[in-house]
Structure 1
Amino acid sequence: MFLLRGWRWLVDKATAKARNLLINVLAAGPIPRHVAFVMDGNRRYARMNHKAVRQGHADGFIALRKMLDACFRLNVKCVSAYAFSIENFKRSEDEVSALMALAEEKLAELCSHGDLLEQYGVRVNVVGDKSLLPESLQKAVKKAEDMTRQNNNAIFNLCMPYTSRHEMTKAVETSIQKSISSGKEEITEEDIYSQLMTSLGGSPPLDILIRTSGVKRLSDYMLWQSCQDTQLQFSTTYWPKFGLLDLIPVILDYQRKIWAQRLSV
């Protein structure tokens, strides 16, 4: 038993060392400012592994934590994650309730003293129609946002409950109201962009959008933000299994394109 534990310790140490080396090599090249994830495949992963759906979502949060760590170690300034669509409220009451409880639990865990967000100085923005969330989760959201409001090294946008149509509708409505109150006769693209939830939260332009599980659609996620100069990447890996080895080809592809653009100037 002692030898087995010693062997596992050596393997874990070697794995961590290799992981750190990979991250350091990647960090030497151009790094995207903003990476967004559509965390797809939790339920299919659960069914494939004979797990309860809730456990599939719980494993998805573990994957999110690992991906946040990898991105912030790479000096990505903003990470956005599509955790729950407004349309997801149409799912079964049991699944929605389980997801809300899980989100509350994991949000508190992420923001606990000495945890990942504090380690990297990350500001939390919960992006979406927060009025639709249960009262207890709304309180947890406010606490997380207030606790991290002074952090300015990086941003984490937890998008729930969110759809791009809702975000753009609210941005247009606010732009119209501001235009009427100021007497401005024209509403520009910049006016609307400035009122998007991600813009209000200080997020930089979106460089990469990654969707897992092999599905190739955006599902009403960051449609405005991804309409120009955003690289769309689709992975066949289910989200709970998505890790650094899945992220590396995406970052390398981004770096290759950036270098090609620089050489063509």
Structure 2
Amino acid sequence: MAMTASARSSSGILENLGGFFRKFFFRILSVGPIPTHVAFIMDGNRRYAKKQNLSLEAGYRAGTLSLISILKYCYELRIHYVSIYAFSIDNFRRRPHEVKLVMDLLQEKLQAILDDQTILHSYGIRVLFIGDLKLLNDSLRVLAEEVESATANNNNFVFNICISYTSTNEIVRAVYECCREKKVMENDPIDYNVSVEDLEKHMDMGICPEPDILIRTSGEARLSNFFLWQTTYCYLYSPAALWPEISLRHLVWAVLNFQRIHPYLENQKKKQMKKMKMEKEE
């Protein structure tokens, strides 16, 4: 049933009012330190579908709508980097029809981005794909490369999509590239003079700062092989809400808690950097 003019007017007023209060609250939040990078483990789409008696596809589509809202809030809060754990290498072990469903949905959304790039360019959003992309099918990999290329000159907001990704796979590939660069592969003598800086230069996430906050929905307090290297000084937050249920209040609560412990985290970082500098000079 179509909305009446009165209903549409009321909806518009409520949306504008919500936007006004959101911006006002974000201005208050910005008095404290704002995280540069927030990462999300989007857990709970399947459980949400079961809970709401929906199809699996409907559960994932509900999760996509939640992602769009969260990206909007992060942009308004001036968070510069957002990373999502979209699909783990381990997820390829799921039932074939579920893997196909996720891949088809991602391909649909990427094609929509390429067909209409207005929003991405007007907001200066750069999209990057993080992971072992050779594990993707050819059509999806080509689409991902095209989206990266199309948004390469945008720099207001960086959106990292971690797909066919695990942290251990990232580290192994970084070690391989580091060794290859130092020419210690094949029959060459092994050189163990590999620094942390050498390794991080070849990490997938070397292009971004380490996350300040990692949010995993559904109440699970596990990293599940996500950003193991990058989360030493990261605030971890695990709300009970399933991913399609995540809302503005969860993001705000995470930022408030990050601001509360920020001085401690920064102090720990400085101590570690000082220690590493001293070890390097010895």
Supply the AA of the counterpart residue of 1:29: G
Gaps of 5+ in 2: 271-282
Give percent identity, aligned residues only.
35
Secondary structure in 1 matching 2:7: helix
4+ residue segments displaced more than 4 Å: 181-185, 259-263
The answer as to 2:146 corresponding to 1:151 is no
Aligned with 1:225 (options 208, 221, 230): 230
Deviations 1:44-98 (A, max 9, x none): 0011111111111111111111111111221111110000001111111111111
Counterpart pick for 1:253 among 257, 260, 268: 257
Work out which of the residue numbers 133, 145, 151 in structure 1 matches 2:136.
133
Cα–Cα, structure 1 residues 7 and 154, in superposed 2: closer, same or farther, change >3 Å? closer
In the alignment, what sits opposite 2:273? none
The superposition leaves residues 91-120 of structure 1 with CA deviations (integer Å, 9 ceiling, x where unpaired) of 1111111110100111233453222x3233
**Residue 185 of structure 1: CA displacement?**
5.5
Please say which structure displays the higher CA radius of gyration: 2
Structure 1, 78-87 or 105-114: larger mean CA deviation: 105-114
- Determine the structure 2 residue equivalent to 1:35: 38
Where does the alignment leave 5 or more consecutive residues of structure 1 unmatched? none
Residue number among 179, 188, 192 corresponding to 1:176 in the alignment: 179
Match of 1:243 in 2: 247
- Structure 2 distance, partners of 1:206, 1:13, is 31
Are residues 1:68 and 2:71 paired? yes
Pick which of 136-145 and 7-16 moved more. Answer: 7-16
Q: Alpha carbon RMSD of aligned pairs, Å? A: 2.1
- Cα distance in 2, alignment partners of residues 114 and 69 from structure 1: 15
Normalising to structure 1: TM-score of the pair? 0.91
TM-superposed deviation, 1:5: 3.4
Cα distance in 2, alignment partners of residues 104 and 97 from structure 1 = 10
Tell me which of 170, 194, 198 is aligned to 2:201. Answer: 194
Contact 1:212 1:235 in 2 (8 A): yes
Q: Would the aligned equivalents of 2:23 and 2:76 in 1 still touch at CA under 8 Å?
A: no
What's the CA shift string for 1:176-218, capped at 9, x where partnerless?
Answer: 111227997610111111111011xx21122111100111100
Question: 1:208 matched to which residue of 2?
Answer: 213
Q: Return closer, same or farther for 1:110/1:19 CA change in 2, 3 Å cut-off.
A: farther
Partner of 1:160, secondary structure, is strand
- 1:79 partner letter: V
8 Å contact from structure 1 (residues 164, 224) kept in 2? yes
The amino acid that maps onto 1:249 is W
Check conservation: 1:128, 1:197, Cα contact below 8 A: yes
Q: TM-score, normalised by structure 2?
A: 0.86
